[in-house]
Chain A
Amino acid sequence: MIRYLLRRIPAALLVLFVASVAVFFLLRLAPGDPAATLAGPDASNETVEAIRQQLGLDRPLVIQYLLWLGGILTGNPGESYLLHSPISELISNSLLNTLELASGALILAVVGGGIVGYIMGSSRTSWISSALGLLTSLAVAVPTYVSGVLFILIFAVVNRLLPSGGIGPGLADPAIGLQYLLMPAIVLSLPTGATLARFLSASIRQTIDEDFVQTGIAKGLRRSRLMRAHVIPNALPPVITVLGIQIGQLLGGAIIVETIFAWPGIGQLLLQSVIGRDYLLTQGLLMLAVVVFVMVQIVTDVVDAAMDPRIRLERK
């Protein structure tokens, strides 16, 4: 297992290195002079030049890149000139909020998607499965920015049940914090949960058709035992791979959901940095996204390998 993990590390490092080069140099292609933007429209040439020197923008690009990379590796990706505070601080503040939202949504998606998928895949009443099939395909297709606004209209404007946005006291007062979390987490979990449900139900149906399950039915195993001991364990592995991909989708969806519900997370910070042309902050956040993406990939692969010895022992 550890050997399998070790084999993955060089490739992961290579991806991270290539991504850091791409993120840094592509953003420097951007039109506009950050120093001039920062100085404001009325600034004199000397002021702009002074700011340029202060930010190190007058040095060769390669030197700038190496300094930036060194900063990231030592945990100091620089200072945001839009928000005037250290980027590491900004990121850690909003990362917690995004993690709260994303983990809430992930729990809802896994539990809800699991239950719906199980019912859809194992139900022998055809109208239940087709109704759930229709609902889940709607939940996959309807964009989160539509379902989010719909939720606000129904649960915050027409019925004043839940706050329409903001993060509230967060984890400091869980009872109230949960009220703020509930709507964004549900909206974010909808496409992910529905995708999981659809894959799970397809996988269960496929497994039920397998010979060993048919044998179980033929020798008179009780249905509950058949499902628990034979169908589910064999139906789960492909769904877990899908879950790994869906976590990436969830983080992309978080950008939209944070915008709808004014949730002060990483997505909001990223948009702010892009619109405000705070390229250092954008670079830091995009690198963070790449790191998360690589980690999710590795974890998914490791879980796959743990479940399937064929992958674990494969040698190239």
Chain B
Amino acid sequence: MTAQGAIPTLAIRSRGRGRGLFRGLRSVESVIGLIIVAVIFALGLLAPIIAPYSPYAQGSGSFLPPSPDHWFGTDEFGRDLFSRVLYGIRQDVIVGAVAVPIGAILGMLLGLASTLAWWLDTVIQRGFDVSLAFTSLVMGVTVAAIIGPGLPAVLITVAFVNIPLFGRLTRNALRSQQARDYVTAGRVVGVPPIRLLLRHVLPNSIDALVVQAALSLSLAVFIEGAMSFVGIGVKLPEPSLGSLLRTSINFLAQAPTYAIPPMLVVTALVLAFNLVGDGLNKGLLKR
């Protein structure tokens, strides 16, 4: 009744988990959100193929209005704004794909660590308290002050902001799971603690982390935009949505259409990731 009995139960449970994740994706919000994100990120990734001009190539006229040649018009140096927006999206793809996972993994490790000993828990939770109290942009300014403005500063800030978010979530999820009967049962039959944690407790805590991942991606887009906007993120002449928007406010009177594409793309990305998060939340957590 030990080994043979365990196999079917495991299989059933893992199938159940898969169904749960799919149910999260079945809600209307998360599908709409995912489609928006996928389209925008695909445009960014395919920028070298799609973009009609180089994002740095200076053309014939500056501040040209939108036209068939330049869909979004041109900027102050006559560069094609459509191409610059496409390349700008790539910064957010990088930040989302690199910094969020790093922050999430570090946070989860710290969350795991804080379940090991009470004093570790106290120290780590205090650290989380302090870093959560600082707003992401103040954190960004501090990082930029230490290592200098640029994309690396954005990456470090986003990773750093995510550590306490994932850390606290992991810790609380593990805590609540550890009080469950199946964990006690596992401990009673002598499953080693590490195996119990990795094999049984962690998989059951994953839903909340998936929801957080979607919200963290939204936050990552926001932070990249904010840091580049205030001049401590991605450096010009390299395009990013935030720096495009920042430059556009100097020319709003001459070229009112300059600001609109980066505004729409940033907002669409932030809202779409939020939608995915909300949809997953409904599907996965509120059973």
The residues of A with any CB-CB pair to B shorter than 8 Å are 15, 26-27, 29-32, 138, 141-143, 145-146, 149-150, 152-153, 156-158, 164, 245, 248-249, 251-253, 255-256, 259-260, 267, 270-271, 273-275, 277, 279, 282, 286, 289, 293, 297
Q: Is the interface of B mostly helix, strand, loop or mixed?
A: helix
* Contact among A26, A152, A249 with B146 in the assembled complex (CB-CB below 8 Å): A26
Complex: A141 Cα to B149 Cα, angstroms: 25
Per-position contact with A for B205-233: 1 when CB-CB < 8 Å, else 0? 00000000000001000100110011110
Q: Contact check, B225 vs A30: say whether CB atoms are below 8 A apart.
A: no
Q: List the B residue with the shortest CB-CB distance to A252.
A: B135
Q: Contact check, A270 vs B226: say whether CB atoms are below 8 A apart.
A: no
Q: Contact check, B263 vs A146: say whether CB atoms are below 8 A apart.
A: yes
Complex: A143 Cα to B242 Cα, angstroms: 11
**A-chain residues with CB within 8 Å of residue B229 when the two chains form the complex:** 145, 256, 259
**A-chain residues with CB within 8 Å of residue B149 when the two chains form the complex:** 274-275
The residues of B with any CB-CB pair to A shorter than 8 Å are 130, 133-138, 141-142, 144-149, 218, 222, 225-226, 229-232, 242, 245-246, 248-249, 252-253, 256, 259, 263, 266-267, 270-271, 274
Q: Contact check, A297 vs B133: say whether CB atoms are below 8 A apart.
A: yes
27 contacts between A and B (CB under 8 A): A27-B145, A30-B145, A30-B148, A143-B225, A143-B270, A145-B229, A145-B242, A145-B245, A146-B225, A146-B245, A149-B245, A149-B249, A149-B252, A152-B249, A157-B252, A248-B133, A252-B135, A252-B137, A255-B138, A256-B137, A271-B231, A274-B145, A274-B149, A275-B231, A277-B148, A286-B145, A293-B134
* Contact among A26, A138, A271 with B230 in the assembled complex (CB-CB below 8 Å): A271
Please give me the 4 A-B residue pairs with the lowest Cβ-Cβ distance, nearest first. A252-B135, A252-B137, A145-B229, A274-B145
Q: List the B residue with the shortest CB-CB distance to A277.
A: B148
**A-chain residues with CB within 8 Å of residue B226 when the two chains form the complex:** 143, 145, 256
* Contact among B145, B218, B231, B249 with A260 in the assembled complex (CB-CB below 8 Å): B249
Q: Contact check, B231 vs A248: say whether CB atoms are below 8 A apart.
A: no
Complex: A138 Cα to B275 Cα, angstroms: 11
* Contact among B218, B230, B246 with A255 in the assembled complex (CB-CB below 8 Å): B230
Given A149-B245, A286-B145, residue A141 in contact with residue B266 (CB < 8 A) = no
Count the A-B residue pairs with Cβ separation under 8 angstroms: how many? 108
**B-chain residues with CB within 8 Å of residue A27 when the two chains form the complex:** 145-146
Complex: A293 Cα to B245 Cα, angstroms: 30
Q: Contact check, A150 vs B249: say whether CB atoms are below 8 A apart.
A: no
Tell me the minimal C-beta distance from B70 to chain A in angstroms. 20
**B-chain residues with CB within 8 Å of residue A153 when the two chains form the complex:** 252, 256, 259
Given A271-B232, A274-B145, residue A149 in contact with residue B263 (CB < 8 A) = yes
Complex: A88 Cα to B210 Cα, angstroms: 47
Complex: A279 Cα to B148 Cα, angstroms: 11
Tell me the minimal C-beta distance from A165 to chain B in angstroms. 8
Starting from the known contacts A142-B270, A156-B252, A252-B138, 9 additional A-B residue pairs (CB-CB under 8 Å) come to: A30-B145, A142-B267, A145-B246, A152-B252, A153-B252, A248-B134, A249-B135, A251-B138, A259-B231
Tell me the minimal C-beta distance from B127 to chain A in angstroms. 11
**B-chain residues with CB within 8 Å of residue A30 when the two chains form the complex:** 145-148
* Contact among A15, A31, A141 with B147 in the assembled complex (CB-CB below 8 Å): A31
Q: List the A residue with the shortest CB-CB distance to B273.
A: A141
**B-chain residues with CB within 8 Å of residue A286 when the two chains form the complex:** 141-142, 145
Given A27-B145, A30-B146, A256-B230, residue A146 in contact with residue B256 (CB < 8 A) = no
Q: Contact check, A150 vs B263: say whether CB atoms are below 8 A apart.
A: yes
**B-chain residues with CB within 8 Å of residue A149 when the two chains form the complex:** 245, 248-249, 252, 259, 263
Q: Contact check, B232 vs A275: say whether CB atoms are below 8 A apart.
A: yes
Q: Contact check, B249 vs A255: say whether CB atoms are below 8 A apart.
A: no
Tell me the minimal C-beta distance from A162 to chain B in angstroms. 13
Q: Contact check, B266 vs A143: say whether CB atoms are below 8 A apart.
A: yes
Complex: A259 Cα to B134 Cα, angstroms: 19
Most buried by A among B144, B146, B242, B270: B146
Most buried by B among A251, A259, A277, A279: A259
Complex: A158 Cα to B260 Cα, angstroms: 14
Complex: A81 Cα to B238 Cα, angstroms: 30
Q: Contact check, A279 vs B256: say whether CB atoms are below 8 A apart.
A: no
Given A255-B230, A274-B141, residue A293 in contact with residue B133 (CB < 8 A) = yes
**A-chain residues with CB within 8 Å of residue B245 when the two chains form the complex:** 145-146, 149
Most buried by B among A29, A141, A273, A297: A141
Q: List the B residue with the shortest CB-CB distance to A30.
A: B146
Q: List the B residue with the shortest CB-CB distance to A259.
A: B230
Q: Contact check, B145 vs A146: say whether CB atoms are below 8 A apart.
A: no
